Amino acid sequence: MKKLLLVIDYQYDFVAADGKLTAGQPAQLIEPAILARIAAFQAAGGDIICTQDTHTSQGWKKGHPEAAAFQIHCEEGTPGWALYGGLADLDLETLTKTSYMLEATDIDWLVRDYDVIELCGVVTDICVLQNAIGLYNHAANNGLTVQFRLCPDCVASFNADNHQWAIHYMQNTLGFGLVASVDEMI
C-alpha cells in the first residue's frame, strides 16, 4: 500500500500573521499537528508532498480569475510563497499549482500512484476541499479505488463555520475517513 500525506498550501501568505491572504491564528495553531503527522508518515515509510499555490504579477495583470476575489498572494519566489514555519526546514517535495486545484496531470498520477491519500493544510473550505473534490472525482471516473482521509486537527480556515461544513462534506459526500489524532496508525 503506497501512502501519501498531501499538505495543501501551508505557505507563509496563507498562515503567517502578516501573510497576504492569511487564515491567521487557526492556521498557525495547526503547525505542530502537521509536523507530527509528517513525522508519523515518514516513520511509516509514507510519502509527503506539499502543494504550493503559485502566482506571478504578470499572470495577475493578465486577469487571473482569482484576481476578482483576492489580492495577489504566493508570488513565485517571494517569502510569501515559501512553506510556513517548520515545514520550510524539512526539504519536502512540492507541487506547484496556479489555481485552487492541482493541475489535472498531477491529480491523475497521484490517484494512480497511491492507495491512500490523506489531506491536510489550509484552508479547509477552499483549497483543501477543492483538491479533495478533484482527487475524488478523478479516481471515481477512472474506476480507481483510493482510500481518502482527512486529519481534522491538521486543517484550518479563517471561517470556523465553513471549516466544519467542509469537514462534514468531505466525510459524508466524498467518503473521506477522518483521522482521530495525529498519532493514529498510518
Quote the DSSP letter at residue 30: T
Report, in Å, the least distance between residue 110 CB and Zn ion. 19
Alpha carbon distances (Å) from 108 to 120, 140, 141: 19, 11, 11
Q: By CB under 5 A, which span of 45-53, 128-136, 166-174, 178-186 interacts with Zn ion?
A: 45-53
Report, in Å, the least distance between residue 103 CB and Zn ion. 14
C-alpha cell at 8: 495543501
Report, in Å, the least distance between residue 59 CB and Zn ion. 10
Alpha carbon distances (Å) from 103 to 53, 95, 115, 166: 11, 9, 20, 22
Within 10 A of 113 (CB to CB), how many other CB atoms are there? 12
**Considering beta carbons, is residue 53 or 125 the nearer one to Zn ion?**
53
Report, in Å, the least distance between residue 22 CB and Zn ion. 13
**Considering beta carbons, is residue 53 or 118 the nearer one to Zn ion?**
53
Q: By CB under 5 A, which span of 6-14, 26-34, 52-60, 141-149 interacts with Zn ion?
A: 52-60
Any contact of residue 53 with Zn ion (CB under 5 A)? yes
Closest listed residue to residue 9, CA positions, set 62, 18, 19:
19
Q: What are phi and psi of 47, to 5 degrees?
A: -100, 155
Residue with smallest beta-carbon separation from Zn ion = 53
Count of residues engaged in binding Zn ion, rule: CB under 5 A: 1
CA distance 14 to 18: 9
Give me the residues that bind Zn ion (CB under 5 A), please.
53
